Amino acid sequence: MDSVPVPADAMPAGALFVNDSGELPLDTRRVLVQLLSGPALEGRRHSALWTVLLRDEAVIRRRLSELFLDLVLDRDMQVAFTSQVSAEELDVPILLRRAQLTFIDSVLLLFLRQGLTQAEAHGERAVVARDDMVENLLPYERSTSTDRAGFTKRVNASIEKLKKHNILQKLRGSEDRFEISPTLKLLFSAEEIITLTALYERMAAGDAAAPGRQAIDEEDEE
């Protein structure tokens, strides 16, 4: 049986659709959806949503807290995303799952993080080419115990993974050049960069073993 349209004047004041029991305006709901769908909300890419986020930050934080999520927000970089709250004393349901990173994933992330820092120091966009990523990871090839073709395949798989998480954003008109998302700056602290750089330099020289898998938060698709 076909549904019968409900007259607009039959809906409660402020409702956006039939059976709408929400209280937030449309633009604030759009911000929440963007944050929950991930991986980030960036001011330069979502300028209208960014303005609403700053306007309604308090209520958005409250709504995320009800889902055991925290809002990570950097006004200078104009980047915001959600992270799972840490509450060991509670049996917290997990909305965000942990995406496992291979060794090559983590080395690539560190390389991109360093590139982001250098670009910011010069006031430039952080742009990187696929060939540069492959070339800069070659010193770690022997740590993966694969041949050159296998290693390149692993690097390309890591690039695709970071594209999926929007850490690498393809430049318009180019298939092999990307801009590094400023979100990455919030994922590695200065102390972590120093520690990981030292470790990976020792590994490139053959003085250390590859670390175990690491993880980053991603939206739960299950």
Is the pTM here over 0.75, yes or no?
no
Question: What tens digit of pLDDT does each residue of 74-85 get?
Answer: 898 888 888 888
Question: Domain residue spans in the chain?
Answer: 8-94, 98-219
In CATH, the architecture of 8-94 is: Orthogonal Bundle (1.10)
What's the confidence (pLDDT) of residue 51? 97
Residues of the chain with pLDDT under 70: 1-12, 91-100, 142-147, 188-222
8-94 and 98-219 in the same fold: yes
What's the confidence (pLDDT) of residue 25? 92
What's the confidence (pLDDT) of residue 95? 57
DSSP string, the chain: -PPPPPPGGGSPTT-SSTT----S-HHHHHHHHHHHH-S-EETTTSHHHHHHHHHTHHHHHHHHHTTTEEEEEETTTTEEEEEE---TTS-PPPSEEEEEE-HHHHHHHHHHHHHHHHHHHTT---EEEHHHHHHHHGGGHHHHT--HHHHHHHHHHHHHHHHHTTSEEEPTT-SSEEEEPTTHHHHS-HHHHHHHHHHHHHHHTTSSPPP--EEEEEE---
What's the confidence (pLDDT) of residue 39? 76
8 Å CB contact between 18 and 6 = yes
- The class (CATH top level) of 98-219 is mainly alpha
8 Å CB contact between 20 and 11 = yes
What's the confidence (pLDDT) of residue 31? 96
What's the confidence (pLDDT) of residue 63? 95
What's the confidence (pLDDT) of residue 27? 95
What's the confidence (pLDDT) of residue 219? 46
Question: What tens digit of pLDDT does each residue of 109-143 get?
Answer: 888 988 888 888 888 889 999 999 988 888 777 65
